[in-house]
Structure 1
Amino acid sequence: MKFEIANYIEENIPIFHQRKLESLSKLKLKNILKRKNPYLFKAKNMNTAGELVQNILDAHLSSQEETIFGAFLENVAIHACQLAYGGIKSSAEGIDLEFNHDGNRYIVSIKSGPNWGNSSQIKRMCDNFRKAAIVLRQNKAIRNVVAVNGCCYGRDRAEDKGNYHKICGEAFWTLISGIPTLYTDIIEPIGYLAKERNEKFMEEYAKVTNRFTREFIDEFCFPDGSIDWHKIVQFNSAINITS
Protein backbone atom coordinates (compact mmCIF):
# COMPACT_ATOMS: atom_id res chain seq x y z
CA MET A 1 0.00 0.00 0.00
CA LYS A 2 2.89 2.40 0.71
CA PHE A 3 4.04 1.88 -2.88
CA GLU A 4 0.58 2.69 -4.25
CA ILE A 5 0.37 5.89 -2.18
CA ALA A 6 3.86 6.96 -3.31
CA ASN A 7 2.88 6.36 -6.94
CA TYR A 8 -0.29 8.40 -6.48
CA ILE A 9 1.71 11.30 -5.05
CA GLU A 10 4.35 11.23 -7.81
CA GLU A 11 1.62 11.11 -10.47
CA ASN A 12 -0.34 14.00 -8.96
CA ILE A 13 2.29 16.35 -7.51
CA PRO A 14 2.74 17.94 -10.98
CA ILE A 15 -0.83 19.25 -10.64
CA PHE A 16 0.24 21.25 -7.58
CA HIS A 17 3.18 22.78 -9.43
CA GLN A 18 1.06 23.50 -12.51
CA ARG A 19 -1.59 25.27 -10.44
CA LYS A 20 1.11 27.37 -8.81
CA LEU A 21 2.31 28.45 -12.24
CA GLU A 22 -1.23 29.15 -13.44
CA SER A 23 -1.92 31.23 -10.35
CA LEU A 24 1.26 33.23 -10.95
CA SER A 25 0.47 33.87 -14.61
CA LYS A 26 -3.00 35.24 -13.80
CA LEU A 27 -1.83 37.79 -11.22
CA LYS A 28 -2.42 41.51 -11.68
CA LEU A 29 -0.44 44.04 -9.62
CA LYS A 30 -3.40 46.29 -8.89
CA ASN A 31 -5.57 43.38 -7.77
CA ILE A 32 -2.95 42.44 -5.18
CA LEU A 33 -2.47 46.06 -4.05
CA LYS A 34 -6.20 46.33 -3.40
CA ARG A 35 -6.04 43.45 -0.92
CA LYS A 36 -2.87 44.35 0.99
CA ASN A 37 -2.37 46.72 3.93
CA PRO A 38 -0.42 49.77 2.66
CA TYR A 39 0.12 51.09 6.19
CA LEU A 40 1.99 47.92 7.15
CA PHE A 41 4.43 48.26 4.27
CA LYS A 42 5.04 51.93 5.10
CA ALA A 43 5.64 50.98 8.75
CA LYS A 44 8.28 48.48 7.56
CA ASN A 45 10.10 51.39 5.92
CA MET A 46 10.05 50.01 2.40
CA ASN A 47 11.43 52.69 0.13
CA THR A 48 12.25 50.89 -3.12
CA ALA A 49 9.73 49.73 -5.70
CA GLY A 50 11.42 46.34 -6.09
CA GLU A 51 11.37 45.61 -2.36
CA LEU A 52 7.72 46.59 -2.00
CA VAL A 53 6.60 44.62 -5.05
CA GLN A 54 8.48 41.52 -3.92
CA ASN A 55 6.96 41.72 -0.44
CA ILE A 56 3.35 42.03 -1.62
CA LEU A 57 3.89 39.35 -4.26
CA ASP A 58 5.47 36.92 -1.78
CA ALA A 59 2.69 37.48 0.78
CA HIS A 60 0.05 36.80 -1.84
CA LEU A 61 1.78 33.73 -3.29
CA SER A 62 2.41 32.23 0.14
CA SER A 63 -1.29 32.36 0.96
CA GLN A 64 -2.28 30.87 -2.40
CA GLU A 65 0.38 28.18 -2.16
CA GLU A 66 -0.97 27.04 1.23
CA THR A 67 -4.45 26.73 -0.28
CA ILE A 68 -3.32 24.83 -3.38
CA PHE A 69 -1.07 22.46 -1.45
CA GLY A 70 -3.74 21.94 1.21
CA ALA A 71 -6.11 20.67 -1.48
CA PHE A 72 -3.40 18.33 -2.76
CA LEU A 73 -2.73 16.87 0.71
CA GLU A 74 -6.45 16.40 1.24
CA ASN A 75 -6.61 14.29 -1.93
CA VAL A 76 -3.60 12.24 -0.78
CA ALA A 77 -5.31 11.55 2.55
CA ILE A 78 -8.57 10.51 0.87
CA HIS A 79 -6.69 8.21 -1.51
CA ALA A 80 -4.73 6.59 1.35
CA CYS A 81 -7.93 6.01 3.31
CA GLN A 82 -9.66 4.59 0.24
CA LEU A 83 -6.88 2.01 -0.10
CA ALA A 84 -6.88 1.16 3.61
CA TYR A 85 -10.56 1.23 4.61
CA GLY A 86 -12.59 1.96 1.48
CA GLY A 87 -12.87 5.62 2.51
CA ILE A 88 -14.85 7.98 0.30
CA LYS A 89 -14.90 11.70 -0.38
CA SER A 90 -17.95 12.85 1.55
CA SER A 91 -20.89 14.59 -0.09
CA ALA A 92 -21.92 16.18 3.22
CA GLU A 93 -21.34 19.92 3.56
CA GLY A 94 -17.98 20.73 5.13
CA ILE A 95 -16.99 17.05 5.46
CA ASP A 96 -14.10 15.82 3.33
CA LEU A 97 -13.79 12.12 4.15
CA GLU A 98 -15.94 9.25 5.47
CA PHE A 99 -14.84 5.75 6.37
CA ASN A 100 -15.68 2.79 8.60
CA HIS A 101 -13.17 1.31 11.04
CA ASP A 102 -13.43 -0.67 14.27
CA GLY A 103 -17.22 -0.36 14.33
CA ASN A 104 -17.14 3.43 13.95
CA ARG A 105 -18.22 5.68 11.10
CA TYR A 106 -15.62 8.44 10.89
CA ILE A 107 -16.49 11.81 9.39
CA VAL A 108 -13.42 13.93 8.81
CA SER A 109 -12.86 17.60 8.06
CA ILE A 110 -9.30 17.82 6.74
CA LYS A 111 -7.11 20.88 7.33
CA SER A 112 -3.45 21.43 6.51
CA GLY A 113 -2.33 22.30 10.05
CA PRO A 114 -3.75 22.76 13.55
CA ASN A 115 -3.95 26.58 13.59
CA TRP A 116 -6.43 26.98 10.79
CA GLY A 117 -9.52 28.85 11.97
CA ASN A 118 -11.18 31.36 14.27
CA SER A 119 -14.06 30.61 16.65
CA SER A 120 -16.72 31.23 13.99
CA GLN A 121 -15.07 28.83 11.54
CA ILE A 122 -14.72 26.15 14.22
CA LYS A 123 -18.39 26.62 15.16
CA ARG A 124 -19.34 26.15 11.50
CA MET A 125 -17.29 22.95 11.37
CA CYS A 126 -19.07 21.65 14.49
CA ASP A 127 -22.45 22.45 12.92
CA ASN A 128 -21.42 20.52 9.80
CA PHE A 129 -20.39 17.55 11.97
CA ARG A 130 -23.74 17.64 13.79
CA LYS A 131 -25.79 17.77 10.59
CA ALA A 132 -23.79 15.00 8.93
CA ALA A 133 -24.11 12.78 12.02
CA ILE A 134 -27.90 13.25 12.10
CA VAL A 135 -28.17 12.06 8.48
CA LEU A 136 -25.83 9.11 9.00
CA ARG A 137 -27.64 7.89 12.12
CA GLN A 138 -30.80 7.43 10.06
CA ASN A 139 -29.00 4.36 8.73
CA LYS A 140 -29.54 1.72 11.43
CA ALA A 141 -26.34 -0.07 10.39
CA ILE A 142 -24.32 2.93 11.59
CA ARG A 143 -24.23 2.88 15.38
CA ASN A 144 -21.39 5.19 16.31
CA VAL A 145 -20.34 8.34 14.42
CA VAL A 146 -16.95 9.87 15.28
CA ALA A 147 -16.28 13.42 14.12
CA VAL A 148 -12.63 14.27 13.44
CA ASN A 149 -10.85 17.48 12.56
CA GLY A 150 -7.84 15.92 10.87
CA CYS A 151 -4.71 18.04 10.43
CA CYS A 152 -2.02 16.90 8.00
CA TYR A 153 0.84 18.27 10.09
CA GLY A 154 1.53 19.58 13.59
CA ARG A 155 0.33 18.66 17.07
CA ASP A 156 -2.52 19.57 19.39
CA ARG A 157 -2.34 19.18 23.16
CA ALA A 158 -5.87 17.78 23.62
CA GLU A 159 -7.42 15.51 21.01
CA ASP A 160 -10.85 15.33 22.65
CA LYS A 161 -12.70 18.60 22.01
CA GLY A 162 -16.02 17.37 23.40
CA ASN A 163 -18.18 16.97 20.30
CA TYR A 164 -15.27 16.17 17.98
CA HIS A 165 -11.66 14.97 18.02
CA LYS A 166 -8.74 16.99 16.72
CA ILE A 167 -6.10 14.60 15.43
CA CYS A 168 -2.88 15.93 13.93
CA GLY A 169 0.28 14.86 12.15
CA GLU A 170 1.44 11.29 12.75
CA ALA A 171 -1.78 10.36 14.57
CA PHE A 172 -3.96 11.63 11.69
CA TRP A 173 -2.12 9.72 8.96
CA THR A 174 -2.13 6.59 11.13
CA LEU A 175 -5.89 6.92 11.74
CA ILE A 176 -6.83 7.12 8.07
CA SER A 177 -4.35 4.55 6.75
CA GLY A 178 -3.38 2.18 9.56
CA ILE A 179 0.30 2.89 8.71
CA PRO A 180 2.18 4.50 11.63
CA THR A 181 5.05 5.65 9.41
CA LEU A 182 2.95 7.17 6.62
CA TYR A 183 3.46 10.72 7.86
CA THR A 184 7.18 10.39 7.09
CA ASP A 185 6.82 8.00 4.14
CA ILE A 186 5.07 10.63 2.02
CA ILE A 187 7.82 13.27 2.29
CA GLU A 188 10.07 11.74 -0.40
CA PRO A 189 7.46 11.30 -3.16
CA ILE A 190 6.15 14.82 -2.46
CA GLY A 191 9.63 16.07 -3.41
CA TYR A 192 9.58 14.18 -6.72
CA LEU A 193 11.28 16.41 -9.36
CA ALA A 194 10.72 19.38 -7.03
CA LYS A 195 14.02 21.02 -8.02
CA GLU A 196 13.19 21.08 -11.74
CA ARG A 197 9.62 22.27 -11.19
CA ASN A 198 10.61 25.00 -8.76
CA GLU A 199 13.30 26.24 -11.15
CA LYS A 200 10.58 26.71 -13.77
CA PHE A 201 8.43 28.53 -11.23
CA MET A 202 11.30 30.85 -10.25
CA GLU A 203 11.89 31.74 -13.91
CA GLU A 204 8.27 32.88 -14.19
CA TYR A 205 8.43 34.53 -10.76
CA ALA A 206 11.37 36.68 -11.89
CA LYS A 207 9.47 37.80 -14.99
CA VAL A 208 6.38 38.72 -12.97
CA THR A 209 8.46 40.57 -10.37
CA ASN A 210 10.21 42.62 -13.04
CA ARG A 211 6.96 43.35 -14.85
CA PHE A 212 5.18 44.39 -11.66
CA THR A 213 8.12 46.56 -10.59
CA ARG A 214 8.05 48.44 -13.90
CA GLU A 215 4.28 48.90 -13.63
CA PHE A 216 4.56 50.03 -10.01
CA ILE A 217 7.18 52.65 -10.86
CA ASP A 218 5.03 53.96 -13.72
CA GLU A 219 1.87 54.12 -11.58
CA PHE A 220 2.96 54.82 -8.01
CA CYS A 221 6.31 56.61 -8.06
CA PHE A 222 7.22 60.29 -8.46
CA PRO A 223 9.46 61.31 -11.39
CA ASP A 224 12.46 61.31 -9.02
CA GLY A 225 11.82 57.61 -8.24
CA SER A 226 10.44 57.96 -4.69
CA ILE A 227 7.22 56.10 -3.81
CA ASP A 228 3.97 58.08 -3.81
CA TRP A 229 2.46 56.59 -0.65
CA HIS A 230 -0.56 58.88 -0.75
CA LYS A 231 -1.47 57.57 -4.19
CA ILE A 232 -1.08 53.95 -3.02
CA VAL A 233 -3.34 54.53 0.00
CA GLN A 234 -5.90 56.34 -2.14
CA PHE A 235 -5.89 53.50 -4.69
CA ASN A 236 -6.31 50.96 -1.89
CA SER A 237 -8.86 52.74 0.31
CA ALA A 238 -10.47 55.85 -1.23
CA ILE A 239 -14.28 55.88 -1.60
CA ASN A 240 -14.03 56.99 -5.21
CA ILE A 241 -11.24 55.73 -7.42
CA THR A 242 -11.07 55.89 -11.19
CA SER A 243 -8.56 53.10 -11.82
Structure 2
Amino acid sequence: MINQIALDNEVKRLLDILYEKRFEKLNEIKLSRLLKKNPYLFRSVGIINCSDLIDAQLDAFLSSSDETIFGNDFFEPLALWTATNAEFQDPRIVTVGSASGTDLSIETSDSYLAIAVKSGTNIFNSQSTKGQSTEFLELQSRLRKLKKEIRTIIGYGYGRNKASKKSTKEKYAGQAFWYLLSGEEDFYLRISDSIGKSAIEHRQEYLESYNKTKNRLLKHLMVNFVEDNGELNWHKIVEYNSSIEKPEKIKESNEE
Protein backbone atom coordinates (compact mmCIF):
# COMPACT_ATOMS: atom_id res chain seq x y z
CA MET A 1 0.00 0.00 0.00
CA ILE A 2 1.31 3.44 -0.93
CA ASN A 3 2.07 5.52 2.16
CA GLN A 4 -0.76 7.98 2.90
CA ILE A 5 1.48 10.83 4.05
CA ALA A 6 3.60 10.47 0.91
CA LEU A 7 0.44 10.54 -1.25
CA ASP A 8 -0.89 13.62 0.57
CA ASN A 9 2.42 15.43 0.08
CA GLU A 10 2.59 14.59 -3.63
CA VAL A 11 -1.01 15.65 -4.24
CA LYS A 12 -0.37 18.92 -2.39
CA ARG A 13 2.75 19.56 -4.47
CA LEU A 14 0.86 18.98 -7.71
CA LEU A 15 -2.09 21.13 -6.61
CA ASP A 16 0.31 23.99 -5.83
CA ILE A 17 1.58 23.77 -9.42
CA LEU A 18 -1.94 23.48 -10.80
CA TYR A 19 -3.20 26.56 -8.96
CA GLU A 20 -0.19 28.60 -9.96
CA LYS A 21 -1.09 27.91 -13.59
CA ARG A 22 -4.77 28.64 -12.93
CA PHE A 23 -3.79 32.05 -11.55
CA GLU A 24 -1.66 32.69 -14.63
CA LYS A 25 -4.62 31.86 -16.88
CA LEU A 26 -6.91 34.21 -14.98
CA ASN A 27 -4.45 37.08 -15.21
CA GLU A 28 -3.88 36.70 -18.94
CA ILE A 29 -7.52 36.33 -20.08
CA LYS A 30 -8.74 39.15 -22.30
CA LEU A 31 -12.28 39.99 -23.41
CA SER A 32 -11.27 39.56 -27.04
CA ARG A 33 -10.52 35.91 -26.34
CA LEU A 34 -13.78 35.29 -24.50
CA LEU A 35 -15.76 36.78 -27.37
CA LYS A 36 -14.49 34.03 -29.66
CA LYS A 37 -16.94 31.73 -27.86
CA ASN A 38 -20.32 31.03 -29.51
CA PRO A 39 -22.36 34.26 -29.05
CA TYR A 40 -25.56 32.57 -30.23
CA LEU A 41 -25.27 30.02 -27.42
CA PHE A 42 -25.00 32.70 -24.76
CA ARG A 43 -27.93 34.68 -26.16
CA SER A 44 -30.06 31.54 -26.52
CA VAL A 45 -30.08 31.04 -22.74
CA GLY A 46 -31.57 34.50 -22.26
CA ILE A 47 -28.55 36.41 -20.95
CA ILE A 48 -29.29 40.13 -20.77
CA ASN A 49 -27.05 41.12 -17.87
CA CYS A 50 -23.40 42.09 -18.41
CA SER A 51 -22.25 40.33 -15.27
CA ASP A 52 -24.09 37.13 -16.24
CA LEU A 53 -22.47 37.17 -19.69
CA ILE A 54 -18.97 37.54 -18.27
CA ASP A 55 -19.64 34.76 -15.75
CA ALA A 56 -20.89 32.42 -18.50
CA GLN A 57 -18.02 33.18 -20.89
CA LEU A 58 -15.38 33.05 -18.17
CA ASP A 59 -16.67 29.77 -16.73
CA ALA A 60 -16.78 28.17 -20.21
CA PHE A 61 -13.21 29.27 -20.90
CA LEU A 62 -11.85 28.19 -17.52
CA SER A 63 -13.60 24.82 -17.62
CA SER A 64 -11.81 23.94 -20.87
CA SER A 65 -8.51 25.36 -19.63
CA ASP A 66 -8.73 23.57 -16.26
CA GLU A 67 -9.31 20.21 -17.94
CA THR A 68 -6.10 20.62 -19.95
CA ILE A 69 -4.08 21.83 -16.98
CA PHE A 70 -5.41 19.04 -14.76
CA GLY A 71 -4.48 16.40 -17.31
CA ASN A 72 -0.99 17.70 -18.00
CA ASP A 73 0.03 18.92 -14.56
CA PHE A 74 -1.87 16.64 -12.19
CA PHE A 75 -2.94 13.31 -13.67
CA GLU A 76 0.19 12.69 -15.78
CA PRO A 77 2.76 13.30 -13.03
CA LEU A 78 0.56 11.59 -10.41
CA ALA A 79 0.28 8.52 -12.63
CA LEU A 80 4.08 8.33 -12.94
CA TRP A 81 4.51 8.88 -9.19
CA THR A 82 1.90 6.22 -8.37
CA ALA A 83 3.43 3.60 -10.63
CA THR A 84 6.89 4.36 -9.22
CA ASN A 85 5.82 4.09 -5.57
CA ALA A 86 3.48 1.10 -5.84
CA GLU A 87 4.68 -2.24 -4.53
CA PHE A 88 4.12 -5.45 -6.50
CA GLN A 89 5.45 -8.97 -6.01
CA ASP A 90 6.76 -8.91 -9.56
CA PRO A 91 9.31 -6.04 -9.62
CA ARG A 92 8.54 -3.24 -12.05
CA ILE A 93 10.77 -0.79 -13.83
CA VAL A 94 8.89 2.50 -14.30
CA THR A 95 10.19 5.20 -16.62
CA VAL A 96 8.92 8.32 -18.35
CA GLY A 97 7.44 7.40 -21.73
CA SER A 98 10.23 6.82 -24.20
CA ALA A 99 8.15 7.10 -27.35
CA SER A 100 5.94 9.73 -28.93
CA GLY A 101 2.40 9.51 -27.60
CA THR A 102 3.31 7.73 -24.34
CA ASP A 103 3.69 9.30 -20.91
CA LEU A 104 5.07 6.43 -18.87
CA SER A 105 6.28 2.88 -19.32
CA ILE A 106 6.13 -0.08 -16.94
CA GLU A 107 8.34 -3.08 -17.60
CA THR A 108 7.81 -6.35 -15.72
CA SER A 109 9.48 -9.74 -16.08
CA ASP A 110 7.16 -10.72 -18.91
CA SER A 111 5.48 -7.57 -20.21
CA TYR A 112 6.05 -3.98 -21.28
CA LEU A 113 3.24 -1.45 -20.74
CA ALA A 114 3.36 1.75 -22.80
CA ILE A 115 0.81 4.13 -21.30
CA ALA A 116 -0.65 7.40 -22.59
CA VAL A 117 -2.38 9.37 -19.83
CA LYS A 118 -5.49 11.45 -20.52
CA SER A 119 -7.61 13.50 -18.17
CA GLY A 120 -11.17 12.31 -18.81
CA THR A 121 -13.06 10.37 -21.45
CA ASN A 122 -14.54 13.42 -23.18
CA ILE A 123 -14.86 13.82 -26.96
CA PHE A 124 -11.67 15.87 -27.29
CA ASN A 125 -9.57 13.17 -25.66
CA SER A 126 -11.33 10.56 -27.79
CA GLN A 127 -10.36 12.44 -30.93
CA SER A 128 -6.77 12.89 -29.78
CA THR A 129 -6.35 9.14 -29.23
CA LYS A 130 -6.99 8.35 -32.88
CA GLY A 131 -3.53 9.54 -33.91
CA GLN A 132 -1.89 7.34 -31.31
CA SER A 133 -2.68 4.08 -33.07
CA THR A 134 0.18 4.56 -35.55
CA GLU A 135 2.58 5.62 -32.77
CA PHE A 136 1.66 2.55 -30.72
CA LEU A 137 2.16 0.23 -33.71
CA GLU A 138 5.61 1.71 -34.37
CA LEU A 139 6.48 1.26 -30.69
CA GLN A 140 5.36 -2.37 -30.71
CA SER A 141 7.52 -3.01 -33.75
CA ARG A 142 10.61 -1.55 -32.04
CA LEU A 143 10.08 -3.44 -28.80
CA ARG A 144 9.56 -6.92 -30.23
CA LYS A 145 13.22 -7.64 -29.57
CA LEU A 146 12.46 -7.64 -25.83
CA LYS A 147 10.50 -10.85 -26.40
CA LYS A 148 7.87 -9.68 -23.92
CA GLU A 149 4.16 -9.00 -24.20
CA ILE A 150 3.83 -5.43 -25.48
CA ARG A 151 0.71 -3.70 -24.14
CA THR A 152 -0.28 -0.29 -25.45
CA ILE A 153 -2.64 1.43 -23.03
CA ILE A 154 -4.63 4.66 -22.84
CA GLY A 155 -5.37 5.59 -19.23
CA TYR A 156 -8.00 8.12 -18.16
CA GLY A 157 -7.82 9.82 -14.77
CA TYR A 158 -11.58 9.60 -14.29
CA GLY A 159 -14.69 8.15 -15.89
CA ARG A 160 -15.33 4.80 -17.53
CA ASN A 161 -13.98 3.57 -20.84
CA LYS A 162 -13.22 0.22 -22.44
CA ALA A 163 -11.58 -0.50 -25.75
CA SER A 164 -13.54 -2.36 -28.38
CA LYS A 165 -12.66 -6.01 -28.97
CA LYS A 166 -11.15 -5.07 -32.34
CA SER A 167 -8.85 -2.42 -30.84
CA THR A 168 -5.11 -3.04 -30.68
CA LYS A 169 -4.82 -0.88 -27.57
CA GLU A 170 -6.26 -1.25 -24.08
CA LYS A 171 -8.23 1.42 -22.24
CA TYR A 172 -8.55 1.90 -18.50
CA ALA A 173 -10.43 4.74 -16.80
CA GLY A 174 -11.06 5.92 -13.26
CA GLN A 175 -10.83 3.16 -10.68
CA ALA A 176 -9.57 0.64 -13.24
CA PHE A 177 -6.71 2.92 -14.32
CA TRP A 178 -5.48 3.74 -10.82
CA TYR A 179 -5.77 0.06 -9.84
CA LEU A 180 -3.56 -0.85 -12.80
CA LEU A 181 -0.88 1.57 -11.56
CA SER A 182 -1.16 1.06 -7.80
CA GLY A 183 -2.60 -2.42 -7.26
CA GLU A 184 -5.08 -0.87 -4.80
CA GLU A 185 -8.82 -1.05 -5.50
CA ASP A 186 -9.59 2.09 -3.49
CA PHE A 187 -6.66 4.20 -4.66
CA TYR A 188 -8.90 6.41 -6.82
CA LEU A 189 -10.83 7.31 -3.64
CA ARG A 190 -7.62 7.98 -1.72
CA ILE A 191 -6.64 10.50 -4.41
CA SER A 192 -9.92 12.33 -3.86
CA ASP A 193 -9.39 12.38 -0.08
CA SER A 194 -5.87 13.78 -0.52
CA ILE A 195 -7.16 16.52 -2.83
CA GLY A 196 -9.77 17.46 -0.23
CA LYS A 197 -7.08 18.01 2.39
CA SER A 198 -5.24 20.61 0.29
CA ALA A 199 -7.86 22.26 -1.92
CA ILE A 200 -9.52 24.50 0.68
CA GLU A 201 -6.36 26.52 1.33
CA HIS A 202 -6.33 27.61 -2.34
CA ARG A 203 -10.04 28.42 -2.69
CA GLN A 204 -10.15 31.89 -1.12
CA GLU A 205 -7.11 33.12 -3.03
CA TYR A 206 -8.58 31.75 -6.26
CA LEU A 207 -11.97 33.44 -5.67
CA GLU A 208 -10.23 36.76 -5.07
CA SER A 209 -8.26 36.39 -8.30
CA TYR A 210 -11.41 35.32 -10.18
CA ASN A 211 -13.36 38.37 -9.00
CA LYS A 212 -10.57 40.75 -10.01
CA THR A 213 -10.47 39.18 -13.47
CA LYS A 214 -14.26 39.34 -13.75
CA ASN A 215 -14.34 43.03 -12.79
CA ARG A 216 -11.62 43.83 -15.33
CA LEU A 217 -13.47 42.00 -18.11
CA LEU A 218 -16.78 43.53 -17.09
CA LYS A 219 -15.27 47.01 -17.38
CA HIS A 220 -14.04 46.26 -20.91
CA LEU A 221 -17.39 44.78 -21.92
CA MET A 222 -19.26 47.88 -20.74
CA VAL A 223 -16.90 50.24 -22.57
CA ASN A 224 -17.18 48.36 -25.86
CA PHE A 225 -20.53 46.55 -26.02
CA VAL A 226 -23.03 48.27 -23.71
CA GLU A 227 -25.40 51.08 -24.73
CA ASP A 228 -25.84 54.26 -22.73
CA ASN A 229 -29.11 52.88 -21.36
CA GLY A 230 -27.26 49.86 -19.94
CA GLU A 231 -28.40 47.28 -22.52
CA LEU A 232 -26.00 44.77 -24.07
CA ASN A 233 -25.50 45.48 -27.77
CA TRP A 234 -25.81 41.92 -29.08
CA HIS A 235 -25.41 43.09 -32.68
CA LYS A 236 -21.95 44.44 -31.87
CA ILE A 237 -21.05 41.25 -29.99
CA VAL A 238 -22.11 38.99 -32.87
CA GLU A 239 -20.45 41.28 -35.42
CA TYR A 240 -17.22 41.16 -33.45
CA ASN A 241 -17.37 37.37 -33.50
CA SER A 242 -18.65 36.62 -36.98
CA SER A 243 -18.69 39.56 -39.45
CA ILE A 244 -16.74 39.28 -42.70
CA GLU A 245 -15.02 42.57 -42.04
CA LYS A 246 -12.45 42.39 -39.28
CA PRO A 247 -13.73 44.32 -36.23
CA GLU A 248 -11.95 47.19 -34.53
CA LYS A 249 -9.67 46.30 -31.71
CA ILE A 250 -11.38 46.18 -28.33
CA LYS A 251 -10.42 48.97 -25.94
CA GLU A 252 -8.76 47.19 -23.05
CA SER A 253 -7.00 49.25 -20.41
CA ASN A 254 -4.15 46.76 -20.02
CA GLU A 255 -3.25 47.32 -23.67
CA GLU A 256 -3.18 51.12 -23.50
Q: Does the alignment reach a TM-score above 0.5?
A: yes
Say whether residues 1:215 and 2:220 are aligned partners: yes
Q: Tell me how large the CA RMSD over aligned residues is.
A: 1.9
> Given residue 78 of structure 2, which amino acid in structure 1 is its aligned partner?
V
Give the structure 2 partner of residue 26 of structure 1: 28
Q: Secondary structure at the match of 1:154?
A: coil
Structure 1 CA distance, aligned partners of 2:162 and 2:78?
25
Structure 2 CA distance, aligned partners of 1:118 and 1:200?
30
Unmatched tracts of structure 2, length 5 or more: 87-91, 250-256
C-alpha displacement of 1:118: 7.0
TM-score by length of 1: 0.91
Q: Secondary structure at the match of 2:105?
A: strand
- Call closer, same or farther: CA 1:104–1:190 in 2, change over 3 Å: same
Give the structure 2 partner of residue 154 of structure 1: 159
Q: Is the 8 A contact 2:118 2:156 kept in 1?
A: yes
> Given residue 123 of structure 1, which amino acid in structure 2 is its aligned partner?
K
The equivalences for 1:39-54 within 5 A come to: 39-54=40-55
Give the structure 1 partner of residue 195 of structure 2: 190
Percent identity for Structure 1 against Structure 2: 34
Structure 2 CA distance, aligned partners of 1:124 and 1:230?
40
Of the candidates 90, 99, 105, which is equivalent to residue 98 of structure 1? 105
C-alpha displacement of 1:242: 2.6
C-alpha displacement of 1:116: 4.2
Structure 2 CA distance, aligned partners of 1:154 and 1:119?
13
Structure 1 CA distance, aligned partners of 2:219 and 2:182?
50
Structure 1 CA distance, aligned partners of 2:247 and 2:61?
23
Question: How many aligned residue pairs are there?
Answer: 240
Give the structure 2 partner of residue 241 of structure 1: 247
Q: Is the 8 A contact 2:82 2:182 kept in 1?
A: yes
Say whether residues 1:228 and 2:233 are aligned partners: yes
Structure 2 CA distance, aligned partners of 1:119 and 1:136?
26
C-alpha displacement of 1:142: 4.0
Say whether residues 1:15 and 2:17 are aligned partners: yes
C-alpha displacement of 1:86: 3.0
Unmatched tracts of structure 1, length 5 or more: none
CA deviation map 1:165-206 (0-9, x unaligned) = 111111111111222221111112222331121110001111
Tell me which stretches of 4 or more aligned residues in structure 1 moved more than 6 Å.
none
